[in-house]
Amino acid sequence: MDFLSEELQRYVEEHTIPETELLKKLNRETNAKIMNPRMLSGHLQGRILSTFSHMIKPGNILEIGTYTGYSAICMVEGLKAGGKLYTIDINEELEDMVRGYFKEAGLESKVDYRIGNALDIIPALDVTFDLVFIDADKINYSNYFDLVIDKVNAGGFIIADNVLWSGKVVQEGKIDKDTQALLDFNSKMHNEERVENVLFPVRDGLMVMRKI
């Protein structure tokens, strides 16, 4: 997932505003106790998401894939007054941990955290969004886009994580289902007339799309 050398990665992080103490604690606990901790956005990507949110100043945010709540806490930092972040995850085993961190961060009134299948939950949301972050099962990335695009305000942004998939998107040979799903998604976004796209080679790849 990390395409930079350890030295360059360290230099980049040393010259990026540090994590808050709460995010450091969440980062440590995720890495110590939770399976697949590489799914965590982490320091650099978290600050990038926060920066995007501050620039966009979203009224509402949708996150598909909460995991342990790190990225949600980062994106909430840029919310407009009275705004809300809606975050969906299918893993109920992490719910107590996530709600605990949202409470510790003082975000209970700003976050609508839902457990369930995003494919079922999204159509029922009678909300429009200025920022959407997709970071869930790769097979459904295109489906998630199709479900959210009409709920995104003109000028709003959709960001999809892991679109480089540890470099597998350019590897030759046998292609697994997740890689093929991301190849299809990246191609679809590049040819989608309703958005302008830039693929950022940050960490595992961020596809950033602005709705026209």
Superfamily of domain 6-211: Vaccinia Virus protein VP39 (3.40.50.150)
Residue 2 predicted with pLDDT over 80: no
172-186 mean pLDDT: 96
The per-residue pLDDT for 1 is 66
**Got the DSSP string for the chain?**
---S-HHHHHHHHHTSPPPPHHHHHHHHHHHHHSS-GGGS-HHHHHHHHHHHHHHH--SEEEEE--TTSHHHHHHHTTPPTT-EEEEEES-GGGHHHHHHHHHHTT-TTTEEEEES-HHHHGGG----EEEEEE-S-GGGHHHHHHHHGGGEEEEEEEEEE-TTGGGGGG--S---HHHHHHHHHHHHHHT-TTEEEEEE-STT-EEEEEE-
Q: How high is the mean pLDDT of the chain?
A: 97
The per-residue pLDDT for 4 is 86
Alpha-carbon span 141 to 185, nearest angstrom: 7
Alpha-carbon span 15 to 47, nearest angstrom: 12
Percent of the chain with pLDDT over 90: 96
For the stretch 42-93, pLDDT in tens is 999 999 999 999 999 999 999 999 999 999 999 999 999 999 999 999 999 9
Which structure tokens are listed for 29? 């606990």
Band of pLDDT at residue 109, cut at 50, 70 and 90: very high
Percent of the chain with pLDDT over 70: 99
Which structure tokens are listed for 47? 């600050």
For the stretch 113-165, pLDDT in tens is 999 999 999 999 999 999 999 999 999 999 999 999 999 999 999 999 999 99
The per-residue pLDDT for 44 is 96
Q: What is the pTM of this model?
A: 0.97
Domain boundaries, the chain: 6-211
Contact assessment for residue 131 and residue 80, using Cβ atoms and an 8 Å cutoff: no
